[in-house]
């Protein structure tokens, strides 16, 4: 097996791209809808012709919380967990690398190294004029 293999039969393309710091999501070739996490069919139109495409990597914070308790040794509070709505549509759970975060904040993907596992997509605020 490929020593870089990570994930499962459906998600391994996502993690392979993550090693190159590219954020992939699925797009339905029939209806054009984007989805994440990956499925072997389109949740919207039920077609099974899906492709992986690179997301722009920008989005908007839909909800956020600052975690102030320690849940395990690897997480040092306080830190921000948020749901981010990617501009293409899919919603993903992630971290916001900032001291504080409000709902509606525009964010952009960045990557958290986790050797030997692939890097994790996290987000940082962007200012837009």
Partner 1 sequence: MSDWGQRGIYVAGVAETPLGDVPDHTEFSMVAVAAREALAEAGMTLKDVDAIFTHKMGEEGSVQVGEFLGIQPRYADSTDLGGASFEAFVHHALVAISAGRCDVALVVYASRQRSKRTRRKVRPEPDLTIAAQFEAPCGLPFPLGHYALVAARHMHQYGTTPEQLAEVAVAARAWAQRNPKAWSRDPLTVVDVLASPMICDPLHRLDCCLVTDGGGALVITNGNRARDANKRPIRVLGAGESHAQWHTSQTPDLTVTPGVVSGREAFRMAGITPADVDVLEPYDSFTITVLLALEDLGFCAKGEAGPFVERGRLAPGGKLPAMTSGGGLSYNHPGAFGLLLIVEAVRQLRGEAGERQVSNPRIAVAHGCGGLLSTAATVVLASE
Q: Which residues contact partner 1 by CB under 8 A?
A: 7-8, 11, 15, 36-37, 62-69, 71-72, 74-75, 79, 81-83, 91-95, 103-104, 114, 120
- The residue among 52 and 79 lying less far from partner 1, judged by its C-beta, is 79
**Identity of the residue, 74 or 129, whose beta carbon is nearer to partner 1 in the bound complex:** 74
Supply the minimum distance, in Å, between the C-beta of residue 114 and partner 1.
8
Pick 104 or 129: Cβ nearer partner 1 = 104
Closest CA to 55 of 31, 80, 82, 36: 36
- Report, in Å, the least distance between residue 128 CB and partner 1: 19
């Amino acid at each position: 097996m490929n020593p870089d293999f990570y994930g499962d039969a459906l998600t391994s393309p996502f993690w392979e791209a993550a090693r190159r710091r590219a954020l992939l999501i699925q797009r339905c070739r029939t209806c054009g809808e984007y989805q994440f996490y990956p499925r072997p069919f389109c949740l919207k139109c039920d077609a099974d012709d899906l492709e992986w495409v690179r997301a722009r990597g920008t989005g908007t914070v839909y909800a956020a919380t600052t975690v102030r308790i320690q849940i395990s040794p690897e997480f040092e509070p306080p830190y921000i967990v948020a749901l981010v709505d990617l501009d293409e549509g899919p919603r993903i759970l992630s971290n916001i690398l900032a001291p504080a975060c409000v709902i509606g904040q525009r964010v952009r993907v960045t990557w958290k190294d986790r050797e030997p596992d692939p890097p994790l997509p996290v987000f940082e605020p962007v200012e837009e004029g």
